[in-house]
């Protein structure tokens, strides 16, 4: 059960609601976000919600039986659009393209990628400054100095920054330089990190865990939402299966299933999803037809020299082609 409270509810009214729900054996947890105040009820008994719904201080009430609630489409039927400011929106009718290197490597690479984005009307640039690498001896990112350098150039060009935060202690130092905090596939169930990102007034993009189910991704989103932050994107980036001809298996099924279960925007990452440069394009286009609200993919001025994930990274010519085809595909889908 979700009860949305009126902003000016009195403490007495709130207490009475909690007591009444208790009579029906529902335990209520208070959730305050940047947008609204809610009481989330968990319990099993059946009762007529009108018994609570009439009480003063309630603006909306709904039974949501799933264990994720606020992110559920049963609660919010209308699709969410995330507003990043300066005319950049994601979700509902707004299709987002995010591109850039796997890792931020230096000023020249930043400059060239920003030029590529600007030339193609791309407002969101991705790049890692803290890199989760399977081997500790691989390049692990430029860290906060790389982020600050990137920010200077991006801000001047009106481009937003999408980058991964790996641990709680990085949130504060990164905060002012980031537009979208990415939670990587290895951290999808780092609940401490998710709790802390609930306190931040920035968009959070949560990637699906390497072996994570769709429901587990939604629970992770519920952590951020119930922690106070409603600005969430979900990202299908491929899962580990028995198949080893590809790096991961981009689960296209997850896209329509997520769109049905949640009001949050869904982004596809075909680069990590398939891991093979020449197959990124068809998977990006297929993701759009499957209903994705955006695509994030890796591009680089010289992919063969990239510090990480070069094998799945497009050069700028390929990227430009893909951008055109994605826009055409989105147009086509919108006409259905
Ligand atoms: C990335 O975006 O470069 C990345 C490391 O992604 P993932 O967490 O999906 O592996
Ligand atoms: Mn990568």
Q: Please tell me the distance between residue 150's alpha carbon and the centre of ligand 2 in angstroms.
A: 17
Q: Decide if 129 contacts 104 (C-beta within 8 A).
A: yes
pLDDT of residue 219: 98
- Tokens describing residue 21: 């729900």
Task: Give the model's confidence band at 284: pLDDT under 50 very low, under 70 low, under 90 confident, else very high.
Answer: very high
Average of per-residue pLDDT across 205-221: 98
The model carries a pTM of 0.97
| Domain coordinates in residue numbering, the chain | 2-62, 82-334
- Phi then psi dihedrals of residue 34, to 5 deg: -70, -15
Question: What are 91-137's pLDDT values in tens digits?
Answer: 999 999 999 999 999 999 999 999 999 999 999 999 999 999 999 99
Average of per-residue pLDDT across 165-185: 98
* Smallest CA separation from ligand 1 atom 4, residue: 184
326 membership: H or E segment, kind and range = helix 316-334
CATH number given to 82-334: 3.20.20.70
Nearest atom of ligand 1 to the alpha carbon of 132:
5
Nearest atom of ligand 1 to the alpha carbon of 185:
8
Average of per-residue pLDDT across 191-204: 98
pLDDT of residue 234: 99
Probe ligand 1: pick from 102, 103, 130, 312, max atoms within 8 Å of CB?
102
Q: Please tell me the distance between residue 138's alpha carbon and the centre of ligand 1 in angstroms.
A: 14
Residue 222: pLDDT over 90 = yes
Q: Decide if 270 contacts 250 (C-beta within 8 A).
A: yes
Cβ-in-10-Å burial (0-12, 13-18, 19+) of 108 comes to: exposed
What architecture (CATH level 2) is domain 2-62?
Answer: 2-Layer Sandwich (3.30)
Mean pLDDT of the chain: 97
Question: What are 230-270's pLDDT values in tens digits?
Answer: 999 999 999 999 999 999 999 999 999 999 999 999 999 99
pLDDT of residue 126: 98
Residue 325: pLDDT over 90 = yes
| Cα(54)–Cα(46) distance, integer angstroms | 17
pLDDT of residue 102: 98
Question: What are 11-31's pLDDT values in tens digits?
Answer: 999 999 999 999 999 999 999
pLDDT of residue 105: 98
143: left (phi over 0), alpha (psi -120 to 50) or beta: left
Question: What are 44-56's pLDDT values in tens digits?
Answer: 878 899 999 999 9
Average of per-residue pLDDT across 143-149: 98
pLDDT of residue 45: 79
Residue 181: pLDDT over 90 = yes
Average of per-residue pLDDT across 305-313: 98
Residues 6+ apart with CB under 8 A from 71: 218, 221, 222, 225, 232, 262, 263, 264
Nearest atom of ligand 1 to the alpha carbon of 102:
3
Q: Decide if 151 contacts 116 (C-beta within 8 A).
A: no
Helix (H, G, I), strand (E, B) or coil at 238: coil
Average of per-residue pLDDT across 207-232: 98
Question: 143 vs 88, 114, 200, 299, CA distance in Å?
Answer: 26, 19, 20, 20
Q: Please tell me the distance between residue 187's alpha carbon and the centre of ligand 1 in angstroms.
A: 10
pLDDT of residue 46: 84
Task: Give the model's confidence band at 32: pLDDT under 50 very low, under 70 low, under 90 confident, else very high.
Answer: very high
């Amino acid at each position: 059960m979700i009860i949305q409270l009126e902003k000016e509810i009195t403490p007495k009214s709130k207490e009475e609601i909690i007591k009444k729900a208790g009579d029906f054996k529902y335990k209520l947890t208070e959730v305050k976000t940047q947008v609204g105040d809610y009481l989330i009820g968990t319990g099993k008994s059946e009762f007529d919600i009108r018994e609570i719904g009439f009480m003063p201080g309630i603006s909306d009430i709904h039974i949501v039986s799933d264990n994720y609630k606020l992110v559920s489409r049963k609660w919010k039927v209308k699709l969410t659009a995330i507003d990043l400011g300066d005319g950049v929106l994601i979700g509902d009718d707004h299709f987002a393209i995010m591109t850039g290197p796997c890792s931020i490597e230096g000023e020249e690479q930043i400059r060239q990628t920003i030029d590529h984005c600007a030339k193609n009307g791309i407002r969101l640039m991705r790049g890692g400054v803290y890199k989760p690498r399977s081997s500790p001896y691989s390049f692990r990112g430029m860290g906060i100095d790389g982020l600050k350098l990137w920010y200077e150039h991006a801000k001047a060009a009106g481009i937003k920054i999408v980058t991964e935060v790996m641990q709680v202690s990085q949130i504060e130092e990164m905060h002012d330089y980031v537009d979208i905090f990415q939670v990587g596939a290895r951290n999808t169930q780092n609940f401490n990190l998710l709790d802390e990102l609930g306190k931040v007034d920035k968009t959070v993009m949560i990637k699906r865990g390497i072996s994570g189910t769709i429901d587990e991704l939604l629970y992770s989103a519920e952590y951020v939402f119930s922690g106070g932050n409603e600005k969430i994107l979900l990202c299908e980036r491929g899962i580990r299966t028995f198949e080893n001809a590809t790096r991961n298996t981009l689960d296209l099924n997850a896209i329509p299933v997520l769109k049905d279960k949640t009001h949050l925007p869904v982004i596809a990452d075909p680069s990590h999803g398939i891991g093979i440069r020449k197959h990124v394009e068809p998977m990006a286009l297929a993701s759009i037809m499957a209903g994705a609200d955006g695509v994030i993919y890796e591009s680089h001025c010289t992919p063969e020299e990239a510090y990480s994930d070069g094998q799945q990274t497009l050069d700028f010519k390929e990227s430009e082609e893909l951008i055109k085809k994605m826009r055409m595909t989105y147009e086509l889908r919108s006409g259905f």
